């Protein structure tokens, strides 16, 4: 293939790629990354509320736990997408979730 024809082909491919990107953006085929929601908690009641809120969220949620022991007295069901638990200090050994244990099931998703 000669250089002139190759340049024309590259130009047309770039134009076509641009048109496809614009089409995808307007039709919703390319979705923006979900916004990250951060919820800080200091006790088990706040943790439970944060999990419920994260389950209802449309985006990613980071639940940040202050150092300490969280005595879980009710089931925590993680049914939403992109939910993570992190420690505020960055040291996960300083955050303790205690309760009756994990509920047996097809996946470990509930803390009782």
Bigger pLDDT: 72 vs 103:
72
- pLDDT band, residue 112 (cuts 50/70/90): very low
Cα torsion 78, 83, 89, 92: sign: positive
* Distance separating alpha carbons of residues 68 and 88, to the nearest angstrom: 10
Cβ contacts of 95 within 8 Å, gap of 6 or more: 65, 66, 67, 68, 70, 87
Q: Is the pLDDT of residue 104 over 70?
A: no
- What pLDDT digit, counting tens, does each position of 15-65 carry? 867 777 676 666 666 566 667 899 999 999 999 999 999 999 877 999 999
- What pLDDT digit, counting tens, does each position of 58-91 carry? 779 999 999 999 999 888 888 888 899 999 999 9
DSSP assignment of 1-12, as one string? --HHHHHHHHHH
């Amino acid at each position: 293939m000669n250089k002139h024809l190759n340049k024309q082909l590259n130009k047309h491919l770039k134009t076509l790629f641009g048109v496809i990107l614009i089409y995808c953006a307007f039709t919703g085929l390319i979705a923006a990354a979900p916004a990250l929601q951060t919820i800080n908690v200091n006790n088990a009641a706040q943790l439970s509320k944060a999990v419920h809120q994260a389950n209802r969220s449309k985006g990613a949620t980071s639940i940040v736990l202050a150092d300490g022991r969280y005595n879980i007295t009710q089931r925590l069901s993680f049914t939403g997408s992109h939910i993570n638990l992190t420690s505020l200090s960055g040291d996960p050994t300083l955050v303790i979730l205690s309760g009756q244990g994990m509920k047996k099931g097809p996946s470990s998703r509930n803390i009782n």
